[in-house]
Structures are given as structure tokens and as C-alpha cells.
Amino acid sequence: MASVAVSAVEAPVVAEHRGFRQRWYRTPSFVAGASILGAIVVVAILAPVVTWHDPVEQNLVNLLQGPSWSHPLGTDDLGRDIWTRLVYGARTDLRIAVLAVLFPFVLGTTAGLIAGYFGGRTDTVANWLVSVVVAFPFYVLIIALVFALGPGTRNIFIAITIVGWVSYARIVRGEVLVAKRQEYVLAAHAGGLSSARIIGRHLLPNVITQAVVFAMSDIVLVILAIVTLGYLGLGVQPPTPDWGRMIADGQTYLTTHWWLSTIPGIAIVVTALGLSLLADGIADLLRPE
């Protein structure tokens, strides 16, 4: 009896995702986003191959050079090759961004599932926590946390996780509240399945879609947070290359060497555009036909 309930229950999830494989190449935003992002990721991975200078090594003879064969984008105020730092900056920022989305995603989804499913006091407490975190302006809290914890990549994760989990928790909780009234959940209950199994095998696959869609647009926000922290001097510490830091370093030379600040900014915009397009594409594809 229980197994009958289980197989009937699993049906809704499969129906939603069947269309994905056939449709992805016909969705323009997905294709465009994946291409842009793919190009950037490939370049970042192949950093040692596509660059021929050291990103960190200073060369005080070669300060603030214009574009040349050896330095296609010129050098910065410490003689470092800009193209190299740009590519390695992509590595740094993208890597941190992915992890800084993953942790809040996991934490928030778990919290949302528990709060939504069990309701009652657990839910009230969770809601209160969410409201408190949300009351803080996003950047202010992150900066305050980075200050308290100290600079460094690990603390960037922690700070973003503490602030970022709330969005996922809210989304997942909302989905769970709707889903737990559906027949397949009631059937699972009646079949005597444990809470853990219901949450894990039946609720989770169905409510996670919205969280995934949000995660895609969250990456953009997180990248912006990372480069903003970098600009303020609170993020990735020098000499590790970071786009935000590069823009800050270039601001002093704005009148004469305006490209020092402009180029990393363009890199950020293009990366964010690729991610946004990808996010739109995935949202389109995950929507049931």
C-alpha cells in the first residue's frame, strides 16, 4: 500500500522536467547566457594558457603602460599586466560567487522546508529570524559582519551566508505551504511515511525549482557584493586579483588612464549579463509548459 502511494506521488515531478532536454536549445536567453558565461568560464579555467604574465608580480619599471603586444590591455600602477589580472580576477570572483550562493541555498532551503512543513512555533521563530535579518540593509550587515569577523575569503562566505539564506528560506517555505496541501503529500502522510522521507523525497523535488531559479539571479547579486567589498577594501585581499579592487586602484588615475577602472567594470557587466540571461533561460525552461 505504501509503495503504491509513493509511486503515485512521484508522478508530478517528472512531468515538469521532461520538457527541459528538448527545449533548451530553442530558448534564446538560455543559449545566449550559456554562451557568454561559458566563454568567460573557459577563459578563466584556461588562465595559465591564455595569459603569459604573473598576476601578482610587480614590475616597477613598467608602470601604467598603454596597450602593446606584450600587454594587450596595458599595465597597472604596479606594473602588473591588466589582461592577466582580469582573467585571474575572473577565477577568484567566480569561484567565490558559486560557493557564496551554494551555502545560503543549502541553509535557506533546509530552513524553509522545516519551517514550512512543521509550522507552529518553529515557523514563527523562523519568520522572526527572517524579518530581523531582512530589516538590515543588505550591504550594511555584510560589511559589519566582515568587519567583526575580519577580512579574508572565508569570512566573505560566512557573511554572505548569514545574510543570504533568508531569501531561499522564504521562497521554499512559501512553496512548501502550498505543496503540503496537495494530494500527493496527504497520500504520503496517509501511507505512514515519516516526516523526513516526505520532506526529502516528495516535497523537496517539487519546491526546489523556485529556489534554483532564484539562485541563478542570486549569483549576480553575490558577484556584485564580492566586487563591492573588493572596491571598499574589505573583500578579497591584495595581491590576489579582484575586479572590484582593480577598479578602486584605477580611480586615482581616472583623468589620465581611464581604462584602468573601466575595463574591469565592463568585465563585471558582461559576466552579470551572461548570468542574467542564463537565469531567465532556466526560469523559462523550468516553468511547466
Partner 1 sequence: MSLAGYAARRLLQMIPIALGVTLLVFFLIHLVPGDPARTMLGTRATPERIALLHEEWGLDEPLPVQYWRFLSRLVHGDLGASLFYSVPAGRLVMERLPVTLWLIGLGTLLSVAIAVPLATLAAAKRDRPTDHVVRAVPLVGLGFPSFWIGIMLLLAFALNSGRAFPVGGYGEGFLGHLHAMFLPALTVALAISPILIRSLRASLLEVLESDYVATARSKGLPERRVLIRHGLRNAVISMVTVLGVNIGFLVGGTLVVEQVFALPGVGQLMINSIFQRDFPVVQAVTLAFTIMVVLVYLTTDIIHAALDPRVRFD
Interface with partner 1 by CB under 8 A: which residues? 128-129, 131-141, 143-145, 147-150, 220, 224, 227-228, 231-234, 244, 247, 251, 254-255, 258, 261-262, 265, 268-273, 275-277, 280
Residue whose C-alpha cell is 599595465:
75
Q: Which is closer to partner 1, CB of 193 or CB of 216?
A: 216
Query: Alpha-carbon distance 207 to 281, whole Å?
Result: 19
**Grid cell for residue 168:** 531561499
Residue 201 carries which DSSP code? I
Q: 92 vs 261, which CB is nearer to partner 1?
A: 261
Find all residues with CB under 8 Å of 95, minimum gap 6, and list them: none
Where are the strands (E) in the chain, listed by range?
A: none
Nearer residue to partner 1 within complex by CB, 120 or 150: 150
**CA pair distance 34, 276, nearest whole angstrom:** 10
Of 114 and 220, CB closest to partner 1: 220
CA distances from 100 to 32, 38, 40, 226 (A): 24, 19, 19, 9
Minimum Å gap between C-beta 150 and partner 1 is 6
Residue 187 Cβ, how far from partner 1 at the closest point, in Å?
34
- Of 112 and 281, nearer to partner 1 (C-beta) is 281
Taking the least distance from each CB to partner 1, the nearer of 8 and 149 is 149
Smallest separation (angstroms) from partner 1 to the CB of 102: 21
Complex with partner 1: residue 37 or 176, whichever CB lies closer: 37
* Cα gap 217→101, rounded to integer Å: 10
Residue 87 beta carbon to partner 1: minimum distance, rounded to whole angstroms: 19
CB neighbours (10 Å) of residue 10? Answer: 13
Q: Report the nearest approach of partner 1 to the CB of residue 149 (Å).
A: 6
Q: Is 157 exposed, middle or buried (CB count within 10 Å of its CB: 0-12, 13-18, 19+)?
A: middle
What's the rounded Cα separation, in Å, for the pair 20 and 286?
7
CB of 15 to partner 1, least distance (A): 27
The secondary structure of the chain in percent helix, strand, coil, rounded to multiples of 5, reads 75, 0, 20
Q: How far is the CB of 35 from partner 1 (least distance, A)?
A: 15
